[in-house]
Amino acid sequence: MHDPRISVILGDITTVAADAIANAANTSLLGGGGVDGAIHRAAGPELLAECRTLHGCETGKAKITKGYHLPAKYVLHTPGPIWRGGGQGEAALLAGCYRSCLELALSHGCRTVAFPSISTGVYHFPLELASAIAVKTVADVLREHPEDFDWVCFVCFDPHTKSAYDRALASAP
């Protein structure tokens, strides 16, 4: 039975009133398309202005900003790995995205966190593997911090993505 604090929903992460939402960014942190573009559009121009002060972020790590016009208080910007066949440490880097985001959320007192499906869009990370890594990493961190989070949800933008995360969550120990 998986941790009841973890859930999967179908929706648009820019509408989720979590303490923090994660952004599938790139290493420049200067915006882009996909969920990165949606988050910047919804947050407004102050988000980019704050991102400029961060001087980028390494793949697999995360940096935090305010949420501005988003319902979320914070945005956790994390560049996921670009899929290059699986032999370049992509799995560990993707796990690092989820772990870095949750550790950053913890240090800022965030008890509710929402994630998009990091790296499975433009970065072409295979969805089945990515969702398994995402769910396992989140479950591991929540197990290490039984008191520190109320909920963590995966916000999937389409039914195909949602069914992969539902399967990953259903098979989580």
What is the set of active-site residues? Answer: 36
Give rounded-to-5 percent helix, strand, coil for the chain: 40, 20, 40
Distance CA 137, CA 143 (A): 10
* Binding residue for ligand APR, selected from 18, 118, 129, 130, defined by CB under 6 A: 118
- Give whichever of 109 and 159 is closer to ligand APR, judged by the CB atom: 159
- Give whichever of 130 and 143 is closer to ligand APR, judged by the CB atom: 130
* Binding residue for ligand APR, selected from 65, 100, 120, 137, defined by CB under 6 A: 120
Strand order in the sheet with 63-66: 6-10, 151-156, 112-115, 20-25, 74-79, 63-66
**Interface with ligand APR includes 25 (CB under 6 A)?**
yes
| SS3 state at 91 | helix
**Interface with ligand APR includes 157 (CB under 6 A)?**
yes
Contact 82, 26 (CB under 8 A): no
- Give whichever of 21 and 139 is closer to ligand APR, judged by the CB atom: 21
- Give whichever of 104 and 118 is closer to ligand APR, judged by the CB atom: 118
Binding piece for ligand APR, criterion CB under 6 A, among 105-113, 117-125, 135-143, 165-173: 117-125
Amino acid at the residue 133: I
Enumerate residues 27-86 that contact ligand APR by CB under 6 A.
32-38, 80
CA triplet 119, 94, 19: central angle to 5 degrees? 80
Residues in touch with ligand APR (CB under 6 A): 12-14, 24-26, 32-38, 80, 116-123, 155, 157-158, 161
